Structure 1
Amino acid sequence: MKKIGVLTSGGDSPGMNAAIRAVVRKAIYHDIEVYGVYHGYTGLIKGDIKKLEIGSVGDIIHRGGTMLYTARSDEFRTAEGQKKAIDQLNKFGIEGLVVIGGDGSFRGAEKLTEHGFPAIGVPGTIDNDIPGTDFTIGFDTALNTVINAIDKIRDTATSHERTYVIEVMGRNAGDIALWSGLADGAESILIPEEKFQLEDVVSRLMRGHERGKKHSIIVVAEGVGSGAEIGKQLQEATNLETRVSVLGYIQRGGTPTAFDRVLASRLGAKAVDLLLEGKAGRMVGIEQNQIVDHDISEALSKTHQIDKKMYELSQQLSI
């Protein structure tokens, strides 16, 4: 293999640039040419592809977002779009592709492999919802962003003696909510993986209020529903002054943490190794601090699981 490509797709996440850098420099170290595909699968179909050099990825390891930009592509979901993409890869002489992104991006890599084009998936998403890896690139940074925000909101909650409902991202996964809620001592954490009764949340709030607690924090994963609606219901049920904060896209940006930079570097380098070994249709991940790889189709057939013991702990500690 003499030429490989790299693209980022779907939602951006902090650490993607570090992964791109690792792919480029690891490949060049092995005398392989690297081509960057700009604007995800949309750019792949259009042939928005440029050769990358060592200097092309200089000074990006600390930057959030992705230097290759990203976009979602409905056309690539079709067989015709996938054929156009492979035609472009063949046109540039690219023999293997590293795809950095979430499950949608992985399904694109799976399709390329099914068509006979070698592709490797690198998990890059703040949602931490990819089976086959303990952590995804960007999760740790997003988590710390949320924790920092909740710390600030708690100051206001204390000053005004209010209940705050904080809605966080994660799509259909509750990892951001669970980890940030546990780290910030939230009174209740609502995640899509675990059923909850609003009455239980109300009871927990009232118990705290009766023992003199002046403020409370409720963390809600977006996959559960509207934080605004939950906040309204809680205020009506408790008669406690309640405010809602939706953190939104601030969670997707920012300088990646050391953990995400190192994780991205390790995973990006492993993806190149797999292509050099002649492997295709694989995803890389980290399990028990060891870099691993799995069949991408097998990984996508599984459902992301929350750490139930951690969830139980959060309930025990917020009595």
Structure 2
Amino acid sequence: MSKIKKIGVFTSGGDSPGMNACIRAVVRTAIFEGLEVVGIRQGYQGMLDRNFWDMTARDVGNIIHLGGTILKTARCLEFKTPEGMSRAYENLKSHGIDALVAIGGDGTATGANLLSKKFGMPVMCIPGTIDNDLYGSDFTLGFDTATNTVIEAIDKIRDTAASHNRLFFIEVMGRDSGCIALRAGIAGGAEAVLLPERDTAIMELIEKLSDQANNKKTSIIVIVAEGDKNGGAYHVAERVKEKFDFYDSKVTILGHLQRGGSPSSFDRVLASRLGFAAVKGLLKGKDRQMVGLRGNVIVLTPLEEALNHPYFKLEEDLLEMINVLSI
């Protein structure tokens, strides 16, 4: 039998759509199982500041549709020090917290893993990041919503591009992952996609744009992932314009627009499944695990493996389709 009586839940790092739905699932599952739940506001900083919230089932009502996170989030350099981590642990224990559910990206999971290894506090991590860059889950929380946001923007920009015979370079988020760029490029009918995982020479891009112009394309959309090695959309646009001026070129940086908004149905269901499974895992004695979705099945992956295993989530058929479907 589990000795856990009170769990803490927190969000950390960048926010992602679906975090609130996940908090809701953690809180209500834990209470249903007879546990107490403490919300830790502002992530690891909240542990240091004792910013604790004893939560009830009613505290998470009417939040499943909200973007952002009701628990707030923050970066915390002090937690990375031995003294900061020790103080955070002492604050958790003095509040009676026996285990943690951490919702965030790789930095969040790294901190939770170190805390658990050092002090023996059970932790379960839920991959909450729009970048879709964590091993152990086919999809991370917020990725679907962020991709849909990008697609909506592409659709609107294409209207203008087609009306003015323009070439648009659209920069999307994802850090060192091209998952958003690739899927948005396919769904948005982009003519080219520049990805961190694939080296695309500027002259290669120019040749492709020239071929499309010769094929009487009246407008072109190029998606540039922010981690692309050519230096971002503005730099790519400037280098292209030096050699290729058939179209009037414009640049759009979507930025943090992609991180907000009401989560999609997919992300709401995924958040609920992951939050539910995290609490169930703790009650079964699981520790230092990443809760993920693989092939529509919820699975647990050891944090060490999730954080250190090389990942590559770009589907080969989608990479080929970009060239085939853009002729």
Deviations 1:91-138 (A, max 9, x none): 111100000000000001111111111111000000000111000010
1:276 aligns with 2:293: no
Of 169, 174, 183, the match for 1:165: 169
Shift of 1:229: 0.8
Equivalent runs, 1:68-217 vs 2, <5 Å: 68-115=71-118, 116-217=120-221
Distance 2:142 2:305 in 1: 23
Is structure 2 residue 269 aligned with structure 1 residue 262?
Answer: yes
Structure-1 residue corresponding to 2:316: 308
Structure 2 residue aligned with 1:218: 222
| Cα distance, 1:197 vs structure 2 | 1.2
Structural RMSD (CA):
0.8
Deviates more, 1:5-14 or 1:78-87: 78-87
Q: Name the structure 2 match of 1:293.
A: 300
Deviation of 1:307 after TM superposition, in Å, equals 2.1
Q: By how many angstroms is 1:248 displaced?
A: 0.5
- Secondary structure at the aligned position of 1:141 is classed as helix
Normalising by structure 1, we get a TM-score of 0.99
Residue matched to 1:318: 326
The residue identity in structure 1 corresponding to 2:255 is G
The whole-number CA distance in structure 2 between the counterparts of 1:311 and 1:77 is 38
What displacement does 1:83 show? 0.8
After superposition, give the CA deviation of every residue in 1:51-86 in whole Å (9 maximum; x if it has no partner).
000110000000000000000111111121111111
Rounded to whole Å, the distance in 2 between the matches of 1:303 and 1:164 is: 33
Which of 248, 254, 258 lines up with 1:251 in the alignment?
258
Q: Which runs of 5+ in 1 are unaligned?
A: none
- Alignment partner, residue 45 of structure 1: 48
Percent identity of equivalent pairs: 50
- Contact 1:173 / 1:304 at 8 angstroms: preserved in 2? no
Q: Gapped runs of 5+ residues in structure 2? A: none
Alpha-carbon distance in 1 for matches of 2:316, 2:101: 33
Q: List, as ranges, runs of 4+ consecutive aligned residues in structure 1 with deviation greater than 3 Å.
A: none
Tell me whether 154-163 or 225-234 shows the greater mean CA deviation: 225-234
The residue aligned with 1:234 is: 240
Aligned equivalents of 1:219, 1:108: Cα separation in 2: 33
Counterpart AA for 1:35: V
Return the offset for 1:236: 1.7
> What is the rounded CA distance, in whole Å, between the counterparts of 1:293 and 1:103 in structure 2?
16
Please report how far the alpha carbon of residue 316 of structure 1 lies from its aligned counterpart in structure 2 after TM superposition: 2.0
Letter in 1 for 2:35: I
**Secondary structure at 2:126's aligned position in 1?**
strand
